[in-house]
């Protein structure tokens, strides 16, 4: 079994089992996970130490949205450097033309 909050593997005979009023079973590896989820209402995806248990968000993998965002940021930075290089070339060409 795995902890419902942090995703850590629970050894047989250890951990906590919480049964909600609707009959849903929630497994916890320790009291820290239980308190964070039930009493404090925290989400696993927002805590670095518990991200493995976050549903739909495996640790270490970037989502398609974040990959696209990073690619767009890189393209924008490249366009900025290209534009800057072109401006410096035109300025140097103008200075050379003024000297002649």
Q: Could you give the CA distance from residue 82 to residue 85 in angstroms, rounded to a whole number?
A: 5
Q: What are 31-60's pLDDT values in tens digits?
A: 999 999 999 998 888 888 887 766 554 445
Reported CATH class of domain 1-60 = mainly beta
Residue 58: what are its φ and ψ, rounded to 5°?
A: -65, 150
Residue 64: per-residue pLDDT: 65
- Kindly tell me if the per-residue pLDDT of 14 is higher than 60: yes
Instruction: Give the distance from CA 15 to its chain's centroid.
Output: 28
Q: What are 59-87's pLDDT values in tens digits?
A: 455 566 777 788 888 899 999 999 998 99
Q: Cα torsion at 32, 3, 64, 75 (round to 10°)?
A: 40
Domain boundaries, the chain: 1-60, 62-100
């Amino acid at each position: 079994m795995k902890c419902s909050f942090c995703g850590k593997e629970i050894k047989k005979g250890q951990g906590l089992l919480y049964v909600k009023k609707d009959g849903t079973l929630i497994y916890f590896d320790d009291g820290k996970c239980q308190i964070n989820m039930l009493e404090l209402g925290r989400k696993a995806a927002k805590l670095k130490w518990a991200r493995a248990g976050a549903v739909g968000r495996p640790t270490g993998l970037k989502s398609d949205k974040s990959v696209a965002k990073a690619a767009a940021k890189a393209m924008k930075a490249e366009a900025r450097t290209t534009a800057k290089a072109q401006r410096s070339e035109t300025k140097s060409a103008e200075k050379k033309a003024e000297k002649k």
